[in-house]
Amino acid sequence: MTRAPDVTREQRGQTKRMSVRLQCPGYPEDTLRSLADRLPCRDTQLETLLQLMGQPDQYSYPSIFIYGHRATGKSHVVLSVMKDLELPHASVDCVECVSSGLLFHQVLSAFFGPDAAALLPRCPSLSDFVRLYKQMSSNSPATQTRYIILDRAERLRDMDFSLLPALLRLQELVSDNVTVILLSEIVWEKFRPNTGCFEPLLFHFPDYSKAELVQILSWDHHPSYTPELYASYINILLGVFFSVCRDLRELRHLAVLNFSKFCEPLEKGEAKESDIHKLWKNIEPHLQRAMQTVYLREVSSVQWEQQQMDEEAATTLRVLSAHAHIELPYYSKFLLIAAYLASFNPARTDRRFFLKSHGKIRKTNFLKKHEKTSNHLLGPKPFPLDRMMAIFYSVVDSRVAPTASIFSQISSLVTLQLLSQVGHDDQLDSPKYKCSVSLDFILAISRTVGFDVVKYLYDFL
Amino acid sequence: TPRHATPSIPSRSAPARKPGNVLEEARTRLHVSSIPESLPCREQEFQDIYNFVESKVIDGTGGCMYISGVPGTGKTATVHEVIRSLQQSAEQDEIPHFHFIEINGMKMTDPHQAYVQILQKLTDQKATPDHAAALLEKRFGAPAPKKETTVLLVDELDLLWTRKQNVMYNLFDWPTRRNARLVVLTIANTMDLPERIMINRVASRLGLTRMSFQPYTFKQLQQIITSRLNRLKAFEEDALQLVSRKVAALSGDARRCLDICRRATEICEHSGSQKNGSGLVGMSHVMEALDEMFSSSYIAAIRCASVQEQLFLRAVIAEFRRLGLEEATFQQVFVQHQALCRVEGLQPVSVSEGLAVCQRLGSCRLLLLEGSRLDLFLRIRLNVSQDDVLYALKAD
């Protein structure tokens, strides 16, 4: 159960935070103060970062590796430090750099202008980059430390194998006052190349605690209501969502979406701002429903907002996963059912299910041990085409000729990704398939043709 | 490419220094680059190659010869000596004049560059590989009455291998033409190279004129060093014998032998400054040089490793013993490592530290590791024998 909000606690936190005084020589003090105000709950990280950077003209550590979960403010802190203190920096997102050439281009144009980057040859190698960088930095030597910020640095491992080790000791290579800051969600152990490299300084950004999340989220309160009301709203929201989600961005998005519903009783005059309990009773089921729909993106945010306007019940909306119904031809449905039965039943039970005059076979006696566990837990098993056709003829009541259209329907089921072919070694001679649809899907299909799948499934015997 | 991006060898500003004392003199004479006028212990091979080339030059015909032998047995030096003495006799008009060309497979970026280099050395023409091949084909195929014989030396033949083997095929096919007057001498390391990598029509054109250079015996090595030193008294007899016996037992590589002797003179010089001995290179100096050259550095590396690294190696061996396999995942080894830490009374390390230790050992190749992305599941194997590790760990 969610609990009623406690407003006083985060207010105490706020006052405590204001008293922190950042001290770092070489940087303007008022900028630092405004920076610290703009980065709530990241005081220690900010202070450590500034200490690592040192004064602008001092040599900093060659490479700093910053890691932490998604939305813990890694790039936000680093980039706002760079922007506010007006330090020379190049910020590169490694996802955008499909080749190392783009990375070099962005770094050179950020430091020395687009003319320098234009000097790079068409497919620049690492040595081209180092040579050009050296040439440019000898023309305009660094008066301040230059920073290269590489966001989502895990992509660097997939690029040229010498790129990451070279970037880690770039300061040494170009003999210039340059520091490379790598940002990633993955720990450093998964980066280290097998041949060894210069070890960067590891720096962890911890997750926000619940109190910190409350403090940050109450930051952007609605102007027409009091901050206390918004803070209590955030408390209710976190009470519902904190157990499943600690992502600040996601929570913020949910807070914006559902705030209008929270304020509805106030606008209608049914409740006052002080009746937190009433407001909580009103919003809580709504938030629970949001967790199942809008949080999983089954309903888009626009639909959710519209629905709140129209006062329509949320369940009437057809969610995305309910759309998983495909119109198929008659025999394709049976083919799919046959494939599903072949995939999830052990082959030795086929006699019992699909032959008319089978003997009385008990479930437990004749199966191997691994076949006794539920096949639905182990996933679909591959089956040959012959077996599937045999089951198909057994489940279809009428006489079906094995025409070209039947076989082309099998291959179109493969293209629709309802079946998947296993082992691409043989296309024509006894291909093997797997059925890749869920039980719900096959139940819906079999209902349309009036066939009871569950009766034929070994797991549900 | 920009001009400052091309590498170059720095030029020497001052002339090379004259050797000051006996040891320095010995060192310059023992240098691999100072090849003597006549190679000792290769008289038979010299005579064979000489006769082969001389007969072809006098008859005006062509032919191929395949020379093999392990590195450092004097193949290239002998062929060069043959050519030198043939050129001398050609100057004295004892045999007809001939043209000598040398190419080296190692110096080419691509096997097809061989055509370009041959053409350039023959006619000072520059051409693309295809064009050069066509020009050479015309030159060796067409009859020309006053053509002089060409002797072509192909060093490091195995690097001229291509998938269709057309470079090798052409090299061996040209000498069989009636008007080609081409003698091809090919050098490679392995004796069975024609059988191993050449297709039949290439191997048959190479012919059966083969010569293999045997590794030097210890007597021959001793003779080579004495002939190089040329009555310079720098070594004790026993020391020389030790070097030559050791090298002959391992590889029979003359270059290795000379290197060890040079190193021994350096060691002698350093130790001579402290206590004045006989001034000769003695047994102890040679022993030290041999140790430096032949002993494996792995054991030294394990001995100098940190406490946790040594502990990790012990954990690896303990895990191998437990599993009865020569391979284990990091997870399994790490459990052993932590247990060992507790037994030794050390603070157990964290997974990150353990992985860092493991990867440091992997980067100096004491361990063989998979990619670091697998973290807990990366498989570990030892790159040294378990006995070596145990010996290195036990000694301290």
By C-alpha distance, which of B392, B395, B353 is closest to B375? B353
Q: What is the arrangement of strands in the sheet containing B379-382, beginning at the earlier edge strand? A: B328-329, B379-382, B367-369
For residues A349-375, give the mean pLDDT.
67
* The token pair that represents B32 in the structure block: 């691999």
A71 and A153 together in one domain = yes
Please give the single-letter amino acid code of residue A457: L
Q: Is residue A446 part of a domain?
A: yes
Higher pLDDT, B204 or A362: B204
Asked if the Cβ–Cβ distance from B359 to A157 is below 8 Å, we say no
Same structural domain, A317 and A412: no
Note whether A275 and A387 are same-domain residues. Answer: no
- One domain for residues A226 and A262: yes
Residue A2 lies in a domain: no
A263 shares its domain with A310: yes
Q: Which of B334, B349, B355, B372 has the most A C-beta neighbours within 10 Å, making it the best mutation to test the interface with A?
A: B372
Q: Is the Cβ pair B369, A195 closer than 8 Å?
A: no
Paired tokens of A57: 């003209």
Q: Do A455 and A417 fall into the same domain? A: yes
* pTM score of the predicted model: 0.83
**Beta carbons of B372 and A187 less than 8 Å apart:** no
On whether both A346 and A200 belong to a single domain, the answer is no
Q: What is the C-alpha to C-alpha distance for residues B49 and B151, in angstroms, rounded to an integer?
A: 12
| Alpha helices per DSSP H over chain B | 22-30, 43-59, 75-91, 113-123, 129-141, 166-173, 193-197, 200-206, 218-229, 237-250, 254-274, 283-294, 297-304, 307-323, 330-344, 351-363, 386-394
Q: How far does the CA of residue A366 sit from the closest CA of chain B (Å)? A: 36
Q: What tens-digit pLDDT sequence spans chain B (396 residues)?
A: 566 667 788 888 888 777 778 888 888 888 888 888 888 889 999 999 999 999 999 988 889 999 999 988 999 999 999 999 999 999 999 999 999 999 999 999 999 999 999 999 999 999 999 999 999 999 888 887 777 889 999 999 989 988 888 898 899 889 988 888 899 999 999 888 888 888 888 888 888 788 999 999 999 999 998 888 887 888 888 888 999 999 999 888 899 899 999 999 988 888 875 555 567 888 888 899 998 888 888 999 999 999 999 999 999 999 999 999 999 999 999 999 999 999 999 999 999 999 999 999 999 999 999 988 998 999 999 999 999 999 999 865
Give the model's pLDDT for residue A306. 80
A247 found inside a domain: yes
Q: Which of A180, A204, A228 is the last residue before a domain boundary? A: A204
- Looking at the fold, whether A158 and A41 belong to one and the same domain comes out as yes
Residues of B in contact with A191 (CB under 8 A): 372
What is the domain count for chain A? 3
Place of tokens 């043939």: B86
Structure tokens at A120: 């790079």
CATH number of the domain at A26, please.
3.40.50.300
Decide if A220 is inside a domain.
yes
Domain range holding A230? 210-322
Instruction: Of A341, A364, A369, A366, give the one whose Cα is nearest residue A353.
Output: A341
Paired sense of beta strands A63-68 and A178-184, if any: parallel
Q: Is residue A1 part of a domain?
A: no
In a domain, A309, yes or no: yes
Q: Could you tell me if A52 and A61 are in contact, meaning their C-beta atoms sit under 8 angstroms apart?
A: yes
AA identity, residue B229: L
Could you tell me if residue A273 is inside a domain? yes
Of A128, A191, A196, the CB nearest to B360: A196
User: A310 with A355, same domain?
Assistant: no
For residue A176, which of A228, A231, A111 has the smallest C-alpha distance?
A: A111
User: Of A322, A342, A376, which residue sits at a domain end?
Assistant: A322
Give me the residue from B2, B355, B360 closest to A189, CB to CB. Answer: B355
Domain end marker among A284, A303, A322: A322
Q: What is the end-to-end Cα distance of chain B in Å, rounded?
A: 55
Residue A283 resides in a domain = yes
Q: Label residue A318 exposed, middle or buried (CB < 10 Å: 0-12, 13-18, 19+).
A: exposed
pLDDT of residue B12: 84
Min distance A303 CA to chain B CA atoms (Å): 41
Residue closest to A195 by CA, chosen among A173, A153, A152, A166:
A166
A323 pLDDT band, cuts 50/70/90, is low
User: Do A369 and A416 belong together in one domain?
Assistant: yes
Which chain B residue lies closest to A129 (C-alpha atoms)? B5
Q: In this predicted complex, what is the ipTM?
A: 0.81
pLDDT beyond 90 at A290: no
**B281, burial (CB in 10 Å: exposed 0-12, middle 13-18, buried 19+):** buried
Q: Say yes or no: A347 and A423 in one domain.
A: yes
Tokens of A32: 């630092």
From A127, A128, A194, residue closest to B372, measured CB to CB: A194
User: A119 to chain B: nearest residue by CA?
Assistant: B2
Q: Are A174 and A52 members of one domain?
A: yes
Optimal mutation site among A128, A192, A198, interface B, most CBs of chain B within 10 A: A192
